Structure 1
Amino acid sequence: MSMKKSHKYLLIVSIIITIFEIIVAYIGEIHIRQPWGDEIRLYASVLNFGDNFSLDLLKHYRQMSTPLPFIIYALWGKLFGFELFTLRILSILIAISTYLLFFKILYFETDNIKLSVVSTLFLVVNPYMVGLSIFVFTDMPTIFFLLLAYYAMRKQQMYLFIFSLACSILCRQYILYAIPAFLIYFGYKYLIEKDKIDVKWISATLASLIPYGLLVILWGGTSPDNEYRAMYLTDGFFYHIDNFYLYTALLFIYLLPLYFFLSDKFYSSLKIILPAALCSLGYYYFPISPSKYSIDIGVYTVGLFHKVLVFLQVPTGIIEIIFFASTLLGLPILFTILNVSIKKISEKNFDSELLLSLLILFFFVVMPFSYLGWEKYFVQVLPFVLLLFTIYLNQKSANHRLHSQTD
């Protein structure tokens, strides 16, 4: 497709997304609604950064996550005012920018305009993304910078890659999961191809850690030095298997419509299904349930999907069956992604499928170490999962066209 035509579709997509965001903002009454959910404490931190930015504040501000989103919103507030509605306008602008960047990446990877449009809109209407796009949360800036880092790497823009990856980590520590994925990708690529440019990319990946490393020194730990750290990080770091099962279940739940088209990709091989079924047996000992820190503050669900089931008064036993079934159906997907990675590495094929697979796999390696298991955290990797699945759909479509031509 010509560049001119792709720009035309980019404009169309931007108009659709903007109209959607305006409608959502109107329904959500963002101009009059009081701080909503976690927005209460996040808004307070933005005000603190806007009123009294100092090294002492940077060391002790009352959050567990890294500070860049609060700084960004505070700078916006300095320019346009700190009214909550004004800050929410910035959230909408960041969301639109994120979705358009995602569309550009989709089209770059697939050269399929229809799939790119549909997959972008699929991300836009995700219930969590809807909320993140109109309220003051830290997640959307994180996703934007992480996608920008991926795009910069694919376009071979090293300095933009360093900046974007560093910024994504400065938005959320959990984005550290991307570091081993990039290091393994470039490291193994260098071992095979002996191209010195890969050494530079390894160095660029490590360089992106420097800003966060300086904060760790300032904090004397992995998060700000405050009462929350003393409260939450008392048990040390260990792998929460129940959180692994949670994100595996979400891998199925959040992308359910796509499996009607990709079922043969994930559920047709006994070499995948049998070990996945065996892995599911651990669910008996580590069922999906709220973290003890959630329970301590009176939250008895693991996120929005769980909350909807409770709101609909679905019996607890049925909810447990739904989560187990979703985990059981999610594990073959995860095992397929692992199998794709192994196959790509053995074939010395360093394409986008390998990188995306590594990013997804390392999310599942790193994220369950968090003291808190929460549905919303899955949205940090959701764009990469959706991008990989769109590539699968594009390959399936291309194969179908090829068979149609040969018949």
Structure 2
Amino acid sequence: MAFLPDPSAAPRFGVNWTPRRRWFHAWQHLDVAEAEEDFAAIAALGLDHVRIFPLWHLLQPNRTVIDERSVADVVAVVRAAARQGLDVCVDVLQGHLSSYEFLPSWILTWHRRNIFTDPDVVAAERDLVRALARALRDEPNAVGLTLGNELNQFADRSHPDPMPATPEEISAWCADLLGAARAAWPEGHHVQCSDDKSWYLDEHPFEPSLITTVGDSTTIHSWAFGWVAAALDSDVRAMSHFAEYLVALATFWSDDPNRPIWLQEVGAPRPFVPEEQASTFAVETVRNAIRRPQVRAVTWWCSHDVSPDLADYPSLEYSLGLIDSAGRVKAEGRAIADLIAQVGEAGRPEAPPPQHDLVLPGRRPADRGATAPGQQIFTRWFEAARAGAPPRLVTAVTP
């Protein structure tokens, strides 16, 4: 069965798995029974898939060494998920997770190299993609590979240790690694993913035309905090349209208006979303997004809260789960479970027809800034969304 359903069907609902005990450090000494406990709790909410994040430095401790036991751990986790009826999407290059970087030592400090442009590093990445693809392709519940989590952050000038690359170099890197995944696992659903800055920053080398072209679907990471919350005056009702806004941007930038979209990360970050409004925000965010038929899957971030025993995370990371760190289902977990059941019975909610078109300057990379939070297009789109009819994004300029 293909990962993404037909547009006429209900979308798939899943969650990004954050191990309840020891967070992603659980991969260092994997307890498969603990993983399966987490998966049982996830499946009980009506979710049908998980996205998992094995750590790059464990999988590939040296540029020419892929650790067979760590790869076997990934397969063991996929099989544990299968026993609970869950499909699994696997990220490869971790990479970046919740403000922490898990890069292998052979590209750091004295061995510092660029993950996008150094030919030896790219060759090693290609080897790891192939190794995971070959290990997973015969697992019935394994869906496919994501190159890594928000690796576009490393190419952003704001990163504390940036790895600069041109758009042409990023395009070549994506083609290389996704091509390796496709060759080793032809039936897999293989994608790259980026955070939302690639949609807004005129100079970002991960360009929308790339994001909406490479891979088997366009992935979206929707985080209504920081500059988004500020631009919307922390209006939670307006913020619940943010994922839908990114879907509209992805559709605008794509040459194929029916290209499938995977809402791969979306969450309810405190304190930007107050505790008492988290359930409503979660339900409205997902409901608004799936009104767009291009959205074929929603994967909530995340399964379990980060344990308070772990130090130095941004405060919002301790409250993003549908389940808390003690294993108790939270209010937004129950709300999402109820929504999944409703959609299963009644199908997708229908979107109101747009009352007008919103014209963007053009479809060049340098036109992105007009859509950034607080800028004119963003502000006008949300004014219409607040009024109940989000506009259609169009351009009068031939690309």
Q: Which has the larger radius of gyration?
A: 1
Give the TM-score, by structure 1 length: 0.25
Query: Under a length normalisation based on structure 2, what TM-score does the superposition of the two structures give?
Result: 0.26
Q: Which of the pair is proportionally richer in strand? A: 2
Q: Which has the higher helix share?
A: 1
